[in-house]
């Protein structure tokens, strides 16, 4: 049987997006053109493949059975074609979109941007919000190159790589009237806290650890990003609990002092995830390698 290979990426787009509108946008087609292609797919595969429901479309049992085989075939074809391509970062001109969470944007992205300026000035980065769900980042559909943060329950079409583990420390103003060079558990519980309420699962992890340790804290102010914590702490007697690499940066601020947490708050993983179709793409592989190297060097510098 002869197959129209142009139809296979459309099948995968429909399978992953579960929306004719989003699938059309993803493959760069009009909705009528995509509907026409779906009609040809149905004729070719002799099945309805997708049925309309109230909130989009749902695959039929045959579509679900075929999906992993079609995705694997496209991935193998991509590997064969991309493997023949050379990539020179110094000459490359390309726009790559990444979705870092707030922590990664603060700690890693500036170093990534510096490395890109030196090694690949023609590569532009566009940052998109991490959001509360991996689907929101665009990484599940492949419109975003990478999601960077804590990757929880990734779907089968994502590859996940561990970058590093990060811990937590405390920060107060340098001339705090009650806190010297250490902080006790009693002081930690008595002080009022600046809390970071950001998308993702890290805040849930901190709350869980505090609950497990039976530690209570009174939250005075909740903010939406790490940048605000230093400014709030600098002008109050409140305390912030932040990732150690952020505290490492804040330790340079003479208004602040960084202290070890009075209890073991554990660590959280920092990971990156990408769509399987980019597994062997030379530009994507190069960027992932650069990010891994940046994370490793920052971890070493902070522990030194």
Instruction: Return the CATH number at 47.
Output: 1.10.10.10
pLDDT at position 1 is 55
In terms of domains, do 36 and 74 share one?
yes
Residues 185 and 262 grouped into a single domain: yes
Range of the domain at 213: 168-266
Per-residue pLDDT, 8 = 86
Same domain, 78 and 99: no
User: Are 103 and 241 found together in one domain?
Assistant: no
Residues 250 and 179 in one domain: yes
Could you tell me if residue 104 is inside a domain?
yes
Residue 71 lies in a domain: yes
With a cut of 50, say whether residue 86 has pLDDT above it: yes
Is 291 part of a structural domain of the chain?
A: yes
Q: Is residue 89 part of a domain?
A: no
Domain end point (choices 52, 82, 112) = 82
Do 178 and 29 lie in one domain? The reply is no
Task: State whether 51 and 137 are in the same domain.
Answer: no
At 135-187, the pLDDT tens digits run 888 888 888 999 999 898 888 889 999 999 999 999 999 999 999 999 999 99
User: Bigger pLDDT: 303 or 293?
Assistant: 293
Q: What is the pLDDT of residue 160?
A: 95
**Arithmetic mean of pLDDT, 50-71:** 87
Inside any domain, residue 88: no
The total number of structural domains in the chain stands at 3
Do 157 and 277 fall into the same domain? yes
In-domain check, residue 22? yes
37, part of any domain: yes
User: How many Cβ atoms sit within 10 Å of the Cβ of residue 218?
Assistant: 11
- 152 in the same domain as 104: yes
What's the mean pLDDT when you consider all of the chain? 87
CB of 298 within 8 A of CB of 108? yes
Flag whether pLDDT at 76 surpasses 50: yes
- pLDDT value at 200 more than 60: no
In this structure, the answer to whether residues 32 and 158 fall within a common structural domain is no
Q: Which CATH number fits the domain that encloses residue 157?
A: 3.40.190.10
| pLDDT at position 202 over 50 | no
Closest CA to 285 of 165, 113, 277: 277
Instruction: Please indicate, yes or no, whether residues 262 and 289 belong to a single structural domain of this protein.
Output: no
Question: Does residue 172 fall inside a structural domain?
Answer: yes
């Amino acid at each position: 049987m002869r197959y129209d290979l142009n139809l296979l990426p459309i099948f995968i787009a429909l399978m992953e997006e579960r929306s004719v509108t989003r699938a059309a946008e993803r493959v760069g087609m009009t909705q009528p053109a995509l509907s026409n292609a779906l009609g040809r797919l149905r004729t070719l595969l002799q099945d309805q493949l997708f049925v309309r429901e109230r909130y989009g479309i749902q695959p039929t049992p045959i579509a679900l059975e075929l999906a992993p085989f079609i995705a694997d075939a496209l991935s193998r074809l991509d590997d064969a074609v991309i493997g023949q391509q050379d990539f020179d970062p110094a000459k490359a001109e390309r726009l790559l979109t990444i979705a870092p969470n707030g922590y990664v944007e603060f700690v890693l992205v500036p170093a990534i941007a510096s490395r890109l300026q030196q090694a690949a000035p023609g590569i532009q980065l566009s940052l998109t919000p991490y959001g509360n769900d991996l689907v929101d980042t665009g990484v599940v559909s492949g419109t975003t190159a990478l999601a960077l943060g804590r990757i929880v329950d990734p779907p089968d079409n994502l590859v996940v790589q561990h970058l590093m583990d990060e811990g937590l420390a405390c920060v107060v103003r340098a001339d705090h009237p009650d806190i010297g060079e250490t902080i006790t558990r009693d002081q930690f519980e008595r002080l009022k806290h600046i809390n970071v309420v950001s998308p993702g699962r890290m805040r849930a992890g901190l709350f869980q650890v505090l609950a497990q340790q039976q530690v209570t804290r009174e939250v005075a102010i909740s903010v939406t990003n790490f940048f605000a914590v230093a400014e709030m702490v600098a002008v109050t007697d409140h305390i912030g609990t932040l990732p150690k690499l952020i505290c490492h940066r804040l330790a340079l601020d003479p208004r602040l002092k960084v202290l070890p947490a009075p209890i073991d708050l554990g660590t959280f993983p920092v990971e990156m995830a990408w769509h399987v179709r980019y597994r062997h793409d030379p530009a994507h592989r190069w960027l992932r390698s650069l990010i891994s190297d940046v994370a490793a060097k920052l971890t070493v510098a902070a522990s030194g």
